[in-house]
Amino acid sequence: MRDHVKWTYLSISEVTSELWRVGFPLHDQTVAKILEEMDFSRRRAERRITMGHFPQRDEQFRIIAELKQQYLDSGDPIFSIDAKKKEYLGSFFREGRVLGTGNLATYDHDFHGDGGGHVVSHGIFDTTRNTGHITLGLSYETSEFACDSFALYWNRYGQRAYPRARSILWLCDGGGSNNARHYIFKEDLQKLVNKIGVPIRVAHYPPYCSKYNPIERRMFSHVTRACQGVIFHTVDIVKRMIERTWTSTGLSVTVAVITKAYEKGREASVRFMEAFPIHFDDRLPLLNYTVAPTDY
């Protein structure tokens, strides 16, 4: 809590009652006007307090800025990568409102075992063309799923948009399915690169800085808006709602579904660890590296 910020949980009518109790018989409208003049208004909490500090935070942001400019100059693609939270299928309550002739009925408790399973989502945002893609999975959010998602996207859309791509820049967080410290992510990424035949340059955002990943504010926020208040009974409903995502600046989102079952807890193979063909940068190598096609 910021010390200079004053707030109260009381409503205007409750403030009015308190004023009457201590000898100030004012009307609700008068109290509301006084509060407005004192800069009181309805506000909500904001995620602004950083929970940790990464010493090389500024340096990594400078590296990312340099890489983005290099790829913009070369015309090679820049993709922002991330996963959305798991959504449960069934008559479960979801925030938001929709137009209707009556209220939508949902379960009074979120016992997810009573539903129809869950959906995991992997997002890809083309920062240059302002287009996005989401792959829906019915299993787990693993590095293999993330790489399969990009392979599907590249074969259907990316390769057509960038037929002369010499390299691909991935901007992503350092945790989750694309964890910067996990060797299995690097092995799955190596397999992906071998499939598509184009090197991928990876730059992870520093710890505690995921909100700066472009996909968060330029795509996911609009996907959330398109889906608000809709009850996700089936995967098809999820797919159709996400496909409705658009903005006045031209954002469009394609959607695909992968039904493959993914295994959690996999570890990198001995063969990969012995060869370890990943090329790490001299500057902050944990967060910056290149994966090139190889027959390791």
Please indicate whether residue 237 or residue 3 has the higher confidence score (pLDDT): 237
* Strands ordered across the beta sheet of 279-280: 252-258, 131-137, 118-126, 78-88, 168-172, 200-204, 288-291, 279-280
For residue 48, pLDDT over 90 is answered with no
Query: Which domains does the chain possess?
Result: 1-45 (no CATH), 57-291 (3.30.420)
pTM of the predicted protein model: 0.84
Return the half-sphere exposure (C-beta side, CA atoms, 13 A cut-off) of residue 80.
23
The per-residue pLDDT for range 206-239, each reduced to its tens digit, is: 999 999 999 999 999 999 999 999 999 999 999 9
Give the pLDDT score at 296: 75
For residue 99, pLDDT over 90 is answered with no
Give the pLDDT score at 1: 45
Q: Are 147 and 189 in contact (CB under 8 A)?
A: yes
For residue 44, pLDDT over 80 is answered with no
Give the pLDDT score at 192: 98
Across 63-77, 81-95, 158-172, 192-206, least confident range: 81-95
The per-residue pLDDT for range 184-207, each reduced to its tens digit, is: 999 999 999 999 999 999 999 999
Handedness of CA 95, 96, 99, 103 (dihedral sign): positive
The per-residue pLDDT for range 237-291, each reduced to its tens digit, is: 999 999 999 999 999 999 999 999 999 999 999 999 999 999 999 999 999 999 9
Q: Are 183 and 271 in contact (CB under 8 A)?
A: no
Question: What is the percent of the chain where pLDDT is above 70?
Answer: 95
Say how far apart CA 148 and CA 201 lie, in whole Å: 17
58: amino acid identity, one letter: D
What DSSP character marks residue 104? P
What is the bridge-based pairing of β-strands 78-88 and 200-204?
unpaired
